[in-house]
Structure 1
Amino acid sequence: MKTKTSNPVIFNLDALFDSQSSGPASMADKLLQQLGGEAGELEYRQFPDGESYARIASPVNGRDCLLVCSLHDPNPKFLPLIFVAETLRELGARRLALVAPYLCYMRQDKRFHSGESLTSRHFASLISRSFDFLITVDPHLHRYHNLDEIYGLESQALVSAESVAAWILKEVRNPLLLGPDSESEQWVAEVARLADAPFEVLEKVRSGDLDVEVSVPHVDSYREHTPVLVDDIISSGRTLLQTLEHLKKAGMQPAVCIGTHGLFGAGAWELLNESHTQAVVTSNSVPHPSNAIDLAPALARGLEEWLKKNAPGASD
């Protein structure tokens, strides 16, 4: 007998903070189309003193609730997110899932100076108190091996390599994937394998104490290829900008820059588009005009698997 899944209620918290996150192209609506269930009705506003008002207008008693909230610019989002989660719990929601395509507060994973806050651990502890499940994409795992090291709830960290490779196969002619340094090799190699494309890792050439250049190995073999720079996060964009300049000097074609998470601080979006590029592309983990790679199908598969666990009326 086929396992039955619960009929989830999907709340679009992204829409509270970003007008781009409402409508049929939003992550919440895409998940609603693929998972079924119903859109949760949520009333939220701020009082003149800055405090939050939240009201759940959908029946949630005994039902699984999915809260879709990409956690870039997290500080103004955190309290509304927790208020909604705790209210759903009080109203009898069966299980709560946080759908955070981009997961914040992962970088501070070590106390580098005396007295520093290990914000990754503290944030994880706070989220774990209010939710039963967390699903995200390509979290910044550096010193942590997995989310279980700091999160006290069931979690799933998806990898965007398959989605990125599918976009490259469809949109880029004769691609050459490039990693900016040796640390990126494993990630770039996997995307290249899935896209059936060659890859190279850029080499740093030091000609003096302060004179370091980046070279493209076997550059003469790739004159007719489209360089594709792949990274997990585009924040300041400085590494990509430097790499693009080196590609230009090497006589390579304008590059395609791909980032799973496009944060684009400090004017990085404008600077990259003015550089040696033909396109700057990101996934829809963070709403932005550069979004072209859809993570909703992968997220839906992960959520469907979780929904089936202990679903009402489920049987083997």
Structure 2
Amino acid sequence: MKVISTEKSQVLATRVAHALKTTIVDVNYSRFPDGEHYLRAGELDDEMIIVGSVVDNDALVQLLLLIDACDSSKNRLVVPYMAYARQDKRFHPGEPISIRAVAHVFSHGVSDITTINIHDKEVLKYFSVPAKDISVARDLGAYIKTMDLDKPLILSPDDGALAFAEQVASVGGWDVDHLEKTRLSGVEVKMAPKQLCARGRSVIIVDDIISTGGTIATATGMLYNQGADEVYAACVHGVLTGGAYARLMASGIRDVISSDTIERACSKISAADRIAHALTTH
């Protein structure tokens, strides 16, 4: 068994290989003049662990090519971040259910699939091979514990993410709540913890994904106005599109914490051990 990865998941894949006490396969990536992807892998095993976050369409194509290059029914696929997972419904005639289309193509040439904190586990039904989702919520909690904050308040940006926030908070037995929006007028909205007070506290806003960071940036300013001492942002998948990191820091966020499912400078925790455990536990 060896580990192989797409171009943008090299660090995580190497950590997974280390956790599994195996080797990572070298892959050469290039493009033809017309933009088509080309890759050539080094020495392969009969059983390959293929690791690749779908962070963009190039990564998606690379992952499909890797699956075909490995060419074994024993391949096991790990997709730490699954783009298109939020496109799971059809709102208008003629729209695709995009995650279903992606799941169909990823289900060929692999024996099983592992994802990490996928946006909604219901989409796993679209894979035609066994698929499971694992969580690094407790790893986020473990990192927060090392920050040695005094009675931190863990907040989710809405009630839909409250279960995730509760998993994070369970590590330290911390208070947990979710932000509630109150519309004050046609243009003015107030956000505050639904039940608990932020005054004099270290607040960590946690979510599975931080994409544009707009909601968290707005909430941060309001939390400071409500007396919060400091505000942090933590997530599993740091998509951080459209200048999101700078937007968060400009809002007064003390630090942004993410995992290495998407490899960023703020990737302070690794999903590697969770992945290795999932692959070796039946």
Q: Shorter-chain TM-score category? A: over 0.9
- Separation in 2 of the partners of 1:80 and 1:243? 37
Q: CA deviation at 1:210?
A: 4.2
Number of the residue aligned with 2:63: 81
- 1:121 maps to 2:121: no
Among 91, 114, 137, the residue aligned to 2:116:
137
Kindly tell me: are residues 209 and 84 of structure 1, through their superposed partners in 2, closer, same or farther at Cα, counting changes over 3 Å? Answer: closer
Kindly tell me: are residues 132 and 245 of structure 1, through their superposed partners in 2, closer, same or farther at Cα, counting changes over 3 Å? Answer: same
Compute the TM-score of the two structures, normalised by the length of structure 2. Answer: 0.92
Number of the residue aligned with 2:15: 30
Among 187, 194, 202, the residue aligned to 2:171:
194
Task: Describe the superposition over 1:197-254 as per-residue Cα deviations: whole angstroms up to 9, x where unpaired.
Answer: 111222333333443211235665x533210100110101111011101101112112
Q: CA deviation at 1:289?
A: 0.4
Number of the residue aligned with 1:70: 53
Number of the residue aligned with 1:4: none
- 1:11 maps to 2:8: no
Q: CA deviation at 1:31?
A: 1.2
Number of the residue aligned with 2:82: 103
Number of the residue aligned with 2:233: 257
Say whether the 8 Å CA contact 1:82–1:130 is kept in structure 2: no
Q: Which runs of 5+ in 1 are unaligned?
A: 1-7, 307-316
Say whether the 8 Å CA contact 2:99–2:123 is kept in structure 1: no
Number of the residue aligned with 1:272: 248
Q: CA deviation at 1:59?
A: 4.0
- Separation in 1 of the partners of 2:32 and 2:54? 23
Q: Which runs of 5+ in 2 are unaligned?
A: none
- Separation in 2 of the partners of 1:215 and 1:47? 52
Number of the residue aligned with 1:284: 260
Compute the TM-score of the two structures, normalised by the length of structure 1. Answer: 0.83
Give the total of aligned pairs: 281
Say whether the 8 Å CA contact 2:85–2:123 is kept in structure 1: no
Number of the residue aligned with 1:52: 37
4+ residue runs of structure 1 moved beyond 4 angstroms?
A: 217-220
* CA RMSD between the two structures: 1.9
Bigger radius of gyration among the two: 1
